[in-house]
Amino acid sequence: DFDTQDWQVRDRAHYLHPFTDHAGLRQTGSRIAAHAEGIHVWDTDGNRMIDGLSGLGCVNLGYGRRELVEAVAREMAELSYCPSFFRTSHRAAITLAETLTGLLPDHLNHVFFQSSGSEANETAMRLVRRFWDLEGRPEKRVIIARELAYHGSTHMAASLSGIPPMYGAGGDVPLPGVVHIRTPYRYRHGRDMDPAEFGVVAARWLEEKILEIGPDRVAAFVAEPAQSAGGAICPPETYWPEIQRICRKYDVLLVLDEVVMGFGRTGKWFGHRYYGIEPDLMQLGKGITSGYLPLSATVISDRVADVLIDKGGEWAHGYTYSGHPACCAVALENIRILTEERIVERAEAELVPAFAAGIRSFVDHPLIGDCRSVGLMGGLEIVRDKATGEAFPYEAHVGDHCSAEALKRGLALRANGDTMSLMPPLVTTPDQIAEIFAIAREAIDATARHFGA
Ligand code: PLP
């Protein structure tokens, strides 16, 4: 028995939500989540919502798995916290570091833990600059990231992000020394080009930027394998091999943000496996615990780690909750289930084709200009004019309208600008995939009617 209105009043009084227009929220009130199971979340009024986004791209294993809860309880009863000063380590963190490096390419053998994806990016960026300092090349400082990227909300992570509203949100970001290049967004930057050709053209934007700044000044390139919050932007196959070549040529560290793509989103265990990338550093988060507890990892190549360890002395960087035992234990249990139940392999075989077909089924829809997906991440880009690709004016908030239409029908469908994004849990069934696309179609049809398209 819940008194929803009472909870809404108390919610409004004291609790500031992430990424929220609080004035708007005051008018509508919030939904109070009460319970979740599998791919569904119920609110305190008993309404059921299909979580088409896996929380925020994290609940890969679905909600409510008892084994994960029990793994946390067991670890907490044993070791509720590890005092990591005094050279004290613990078994859950050791085992997790070992397990992760076993899943990753041979040259990635060292792991630093934090609680969030934002912090993982902070660690990576401090480490990159520390590396070049220790190498005696302190002038190598500039970080190149991409437009439309989202890497987090702390100062450096927000700076790496290429979403302009992030910059107005306080904190004088982007910080100096961070620059952005265009992203391989073929629908907007190369619609008339063959995908393979466009992939190379888009990768060369990195080379042009490196040459403009001077290779001796560029420390690293940071990117997601495919961009999630940017609006499901999936590069052509030719993009990453060319990026890899360019980074090697100019000795620019390749830093891969796998916070969303890691742990199965692309239909492979990691985005770098899907695209064939060999990064120097890699950030993992979200799906590492399927969202059951906060944990992220920055994984570091032997080349970078050797310099840090042999030349570095103390590295003054770390967090109270680096490698928290309960978080490491739940990550291990999550990875055990993903492995033993072959969740990623089954998703790739049984869900990805149906998901891709569901996305493609909007090709002829008058409101949808572009349909794109990789694995279980997809985007449907709403346009005003399908022939020219002209977008609706920003003030129309067409994406938000569509998202509200979907929510009315019981589906969480996110608007990334005008792109409607889907990232369902890896444990979604084929029938549920069909249900998700049926609701998405109703929401998009209703949006088309509303905007006269
Ligand atoms: N990196 C990527 C690619 C993300 O999408 C996000 C969050 O959405 C982050 C980093 C930041 O992670 P967190 O919200 O855990 O700080």
Distance 385 CA to ligand 1 centre (A): 32
State how far the Cα of 221 lies from the Cα of 248, in Å rounded to an integer: 11
**Range 266-269, long-range pairs (CB < 8 A, 24+ positions):** 266/225, 266/226, 266/374, 266/375, 266/377, 267/344, 267/347, 267/348, 267/352, 267/374, 267/375, 267/376, 268/344, 268/348, 268/375, 269/103, 269/344
Residues within 6 Å of ligand 1 by CB: 56, 116-118, 121, 150-152, 224, 228-229, 257, 259-260, 285
Under the banding of pLDDT at 50, 70 and 90, the label for residue 28 is confident
State how far the Cα of 122 lies from the Cα of 412, in Å rounded to an integer: 30
This model of the complex carries an ipTM of 0.99
Q: 80-96: per-residue pLDDT in tens?
A: 999 988 899 999 999 99
pLDDT of residue 8: 94
Q: Which of 181, 180, 199 is nearest to 238 (CA)?
A: 199
Architecture of domain 68-340: 3-Layer(aba) Sandwich (3.40)
Q: 259-282: per-residue pLDDT in tens?
A: 999 999 999 999 999 999 999 999
Distance 228 CA to ligand 1 centre (A): 10
Q: Quick one: which atom of ligand 1 is closest to the CA of 261?
A: 3
Q: Whose CA is nearest to atom 10 of ligand 1?
A: 151
pLDDT of residue 419: 98
pTM: 0.97
Residue spans in the chain of domains classed CATH 3.90.1150.10 = 31-64+342-450
pLDDT of residue 42: 98
For a pLDDT cut of 90, what percent of the chain falls above it? 93
Distance 18 CA to ligand 1 centre (A): 13
Q: 351-380: per-residue pLDDT in tens?
A: 999 999 999 999 999 999 999 999 999 999
Under the banding of pLDDT at 50, 70 and 90, the label for residue 312 is confident
Under the banding of pLDDT at 50, 70 and 90, the label for residue 169 is confident
pLDDT of residue 390: 97
pLDDT of residue 452: 86
Q: Taking 80 as the threshold, does the pLDDT of residue 171 lie above it?
A: no
Question: Domain spanning 31-64+342-450: which superfamily?
Answer: Aspartate Aminotransferase, domain 1 (3.90.1150.10)
Under the banding of pLDDT at 50, 70 and 90, the label for residue 112 is very high
Q: Residue range 33-40: average pLDDT?
A: 97
Question: E strands of 4-43, at which residues?
Answer: 33-37, 40-43
Q: Which two tokens stand for residue 85?
A: 């000063």
Residue spans in the chain of domains classed CATH 3.40.640.10 = 68-340
